[in-house]
Amino acid sequence: MRRSMRGLPPKLHDIAYDPGLVVPAADGSPLLTDHYFPLDGGDFPTLLVRSPYGRGFPWAPMYGVLLAEQGFHVVLQSCRGTGGSGGDFHLWRNEAADGRATVAWLRQQPWFSGVLGTIGPSYLGYVQWALAMDPPPELRAMVVQIGMHDPHGFFHAGGTFSLENALVVAMGLTTQHQGVPSFLRATLRLQRHLRRAAADLPLVEAYRPALGGPVPFLDGAMAHPDAGDIHWDGADVGSAADGLIVPTALIGGWHDVNLDQTLQQYERLRRAGCDTALLVGPWSHQSALQQGWPEVFTESLAWLRAHLYDDLSALRPTRVRVQVGGRGAWQDLPDWPPVLRGRRWYIDTDGALTHRAPEDTSEPLSFRYDPADPTPSLGGALAGGKAAQADNRPLEARKDVLTFTTAPLPDPVTILGPVRAILRISTDTGHADVFARLCDVDPRNRSTNVCDGIRRLQPDEEDPATVTVAMSSTAYRFPAGHRIRLQISGGAHPRFARNAGTGEPTATATRLAPVRISLHHPSVIVLPIADEAAAD
């Protein structure tokens, strides 16, 4: 790992490890645990890394080895029902109790100094928030990397089902802990079957060949779209941030599937007065731990040293650091978001995007969305290895995609913060989704996606309804001569499950019906301009 990664700090200690330790879970099930530690004498802080993805590659080299070399005891543990640990895996129900049981075991170890930190990405971030619901007194620091706290919010973004990401996550959770060969076979199987899994009906049965059979937690997530359903009781552990006093560093990517949850965590920690820091880079869920690993590891290590060793030498002076897309430069900020107000660009009937609102009498613009030929997804925040940013011209050439574009910009425009579209929408059936995307169009007419969002319309909404489509957040600089573009369509398939158009539940729908979607005036996109004097 060290030879393949430039930018990592030099090794400080020779290390050893003790594999296959048995730690009792809250119900007594054996949790298999590996212990990495420096060979030098003295007290070292302990880092707890709990994972459902196994304890081999890449977790052992990236967390066990590298962090032990920096002077930490690293306890790398397989969650209940994974990686040889006993019991049955549940997507959220056991993590808080098993985390506390592991800390109780740590207290009995002669090498445990009583100083504890946690670290990890994705679901390894979720288990940290679960432990923080009732944090043990030894917990002195957390590092949540591209992590989630709300499973429902992951599966049902904007009221739609996040189909492709759900399949990728389910594949990883069910196979990665079995070893690299099993994981690679499962990845190839999903790639072969994804198109058919997304096209056949009903969805709850169609996905099974892609994953080698039914996955109970995926069936449950698909069948319960309502966040208030009893199915999700106890799943959202985001309230841990509301009163947390444990210093917590958050790391995200502008194209990460968990970006919105990362920024929600930051906002809640700031309101609670908790010591926190935020780093957001140009990464997707995968690339944060690949191309972004030197920055991610360096940031994480600095936070752990500051709060477990009282070593502030590598800690950056500002609370927030973001990479500004379109420019590629890092920018330090005192807080996030730095821009609290936005500038509006209105859609016009001729495909323009302007600061002037069109006349109320202007005719609406409409398109036909056909779930039998759904608008495809191209780029965006995906958990798999597909490119997050892509040339959107093939997508924009379709008849079911509307685009609105500014004139070439006379000066650069930088946006920092949340992007949203406020749209007046009507449909002829009441059953539709609205997908909105911000793009950067260069002088050669290449259209590159910046951020996006989706919203499911409700049949009982007024017609036309004014709806807000949250398009996530970004830090991006549009150069002079480029144009800003807003895309509007009826979906992004298979990233999001298509709206069947019949009102049937997504999981069990067996019929498809097209819908005509009309966009009325005034409809706008609101961009957080970095120059506050220019905001309205």
CATH for 145: 3.40.50.1820
Over residues 82-118, the pLDDT tens digits come to 999 999 999 999 999 999 999 999 999 999 999 999 9
Closest CA to 508 of 154, 195, 205: 205
pLDDT for res 532: 46
Predicted confidence band of residue 5 (pLDDT cuts 50, 70, 90): low
Q: Is there a single domain that holds both residue 104 and residue 133?
A: no
Q: Is there a single domain that holds both residue 356 and residue 458?
A: yes
pLDDT for res 384: 87
Single out the residue in 314, 334, 354 at which a domain terminates: 334
Percent of the chain with pLDDT over 90: 92
Whole-angstrom Cα distance, residue 419 to residue 520?
20
pLDDT for res 459: 84
**Residue 361's domain is classified under what CATH number?**
2.60.120.260
What is the reported pTM?
0.96
Residue 2 lies in a domain: no
Domain count, the chain: 4
Residue 67 lies in a domain: yes
Residue 3 lies in a domain: no
Q: Is there a single domain that holds both residue 526 and residue 417?
A: yes
Predicted confidence band of residue 387 (pLDDT cuts 50, 70, 90): confident
Q: Which domain holds residue 440?
A: 343-530
pLDDT for res 362: 76
Over residues 185-236, the pLDDT tens digits come to 999 999 999 999 999 999 999 999 999 999 999 999 999 999 999 999 999 9
* CB contact burial 220-252 (16+ within 10 A = b; e otherwise): bbbebbeeeeeebeebbbbebbeebebbbbbbb
Cα dihedral 65→68→73→75 (10° resolution): -20
Q: Is there a single domain that holds both residue 101 and residue 145?
A: no
Over residues 460-487, the pLDDT tens digits come to 777 899 999 999 999 999 999 999 999 9
pLDDT at 134 over 70: yes
pLDDT at 1 over 50: no
Single out the residue in 82, 114, 146 at which a domain terminates: 114
Q: Which residues pair with 483 in a beta bridge?
A: 441
Predicted confidence band of residue 75 (pLDDT cuts 50, 70, 90): very high
Over residues 487-536, the pLDDT tens digits come to 999 999 999 999 999 999 999 999 999 999 999 999 999 999 986 434 33
Over residues 287-330, the pLDDT tens digits come to 999 999 999 999 999 999 999 999 998 899 999 999 999 888 99
User: How much of the chain is helix, strand and coil, in % rounded to 5?
Assistant: 25, 30, 45
Residue 515 lies in a domain: yes
| Nearby residues of 173 by Cβ (< 8 Å), 6 or more positions away | 52, 53, 82, 89, 91, 123, 217
Residue 412 lies in a domain: yes
Q: Is there a single domain that holds both residue 127 and residue 107?
A: no
Give mean pLDDT, residues 148-171: 97
Which single residue is written with the structure tokens 């220019």? 534
Q: Is there a single domain that holds both residue 31 and residue 174?
A: no
Rounded to the nearest integer, the mean pLDDT of the chain is 95
Q: Is there a single domain that holds both residue 482 and residue 416?
A: yes
Residue 220 lies in a domain: no
Q: Is there a single domain that holds both residue 67 and residue 146?
A: no
Q: Is there a single domain that holds both residue 205 and residue 132?
A: no
Percent of the chain with pLDDT over 70: 97
Q: Is there a single domain that holds both residue 362 and residue 263?
A: no
Q: Regarding predicted confidence, which is higher, 362 or 64?
A: 64
Single out the residue in 313, 334, 355 at which a domain terminates: 334
Q: Is there a single domain that holds both residue 282 and residue 386?
A: no
Whole-angstrom Cα distance, residue 324 to residue 316?
18
Which single residue is written with the structure tokens 């009441």? 430
Residue 327 lies in a domain: yes
Q: Is the peptide bond before 58 cis (omega within 30 degrees of 0)?
A: yes
pLDDT for res 111: 97
Residue 468 lies in a domain: yes
Round the CA-based radius of gyration of the chain to a whole number and report it: 24
Least confident of 28-32, 59-63, 223-227, 527-531: 527-531
Which single residue is written with the structure tokens 């039998």? 372
Q: Is there a single domain that holds both residue 351 and residue 432?
A: yes
| Nearby residues of 499 by Cβ (< 8 Å), 6 or more positions away | 160, 369, 371, 431, 432, 433, 456, 490, 491, 506, 515
DSSP string, 8-67: PPPP---EEEEEEEEEE-TTS-EEEEEEEEESSSS---EEEEEESS-SSTTHIIIIIIHH
